[in-house]
Amino acid sequence: MLLQYPNGWFMHYCLHGTKVRHVYNIVLGILIQTYLFGFGVLHVVLMTSVAYAMMVFLPRNKQATYVMFWVLAYLSYSHLEAIIFRFGSYDMDVTTYTMLLVCKLSALAYCYQDGGTDAAKLNEDQRKRVVMNLPTLLELASYVWFTQACALGVFFEFSDYKRWIERSHEYKQVPCPILPSLKWLAASLSCLIFYTLVSPTFNVEFCYVKEFWEFNFPHKVVYYFVAMSAKRFFYYNPFCLTTGAIIGCGLGYNGM
């Protein structure tokens, strides 16, 4: 994940041309996912293909509901399969990414649905994120396998991504993203350090053993609160790290 930082800076300064940027993200994103998840990448292909087919063939004003049902149902199946056959395992499977993919595909479907709705009926937020035309396969694949967030990461709208790829609107002149991205890297490392220092003393796993239940009630409450608070930093770390990588390529710039 650390290599995503120089990769983001490379994309910002050296990668020009809409098609080149699309193809670069698709190829590198698929390679990263294949390295991490192996044949699990086929789950991403299936989820995306069915969702896109629904957007193409179903009525525009109704397809979003079906897309959301499809992606949530498939993700639920993936989680249930992991619970039944790999319960308690710490394997990094493709659901690490497909949880984000659910957000991407369902949001895209609703924004595309808004694009076929009378603009007077949309609120300001919907008008800002609306997708007027169905994305091409190249655009969709690039959005799905965006290299800076192809393993895990934070959600971003298709409309933002399209403007970033095309270097239009607020992305015409993006200032140097190196320092802002490094600030997020520092935040990520701070979360990791905090978790590493606190977790040996306040460990969530200890709450499952017999000795924990021998504590008095206030002791248990305080211990559990501190342990769970520390555990959150375990998850803050990769999300801060990925946020910085995304910022490093210029995506997320608000024009100010």
240-255: pLDDT as tens digits: 999 999 999 999 888 7
- Specify the residue for token string 């003393």: 201
**Residue 256 has what pLDDT?**
65
Question: Cα dihedral angle (163, 164, 167, 168), rounded to 10 degrees?
Answer: 30
d(CA 120, CA 106): 23
8 A C-beta contact, residue 194 and residue 233 = yes
d(CA 116, CA 91): 42
Burial of 146 per CB tally in 10 Å (0-12, 13-18, 19+): buried
Mean pLDDT computed over every residue of the chain:
92
Residue ranges per structural domain of the chain: 1-172, 176-256
Model pLDDT for residues 31-48, shown as the tens digit of each residue: 999 999 999 999 999 999
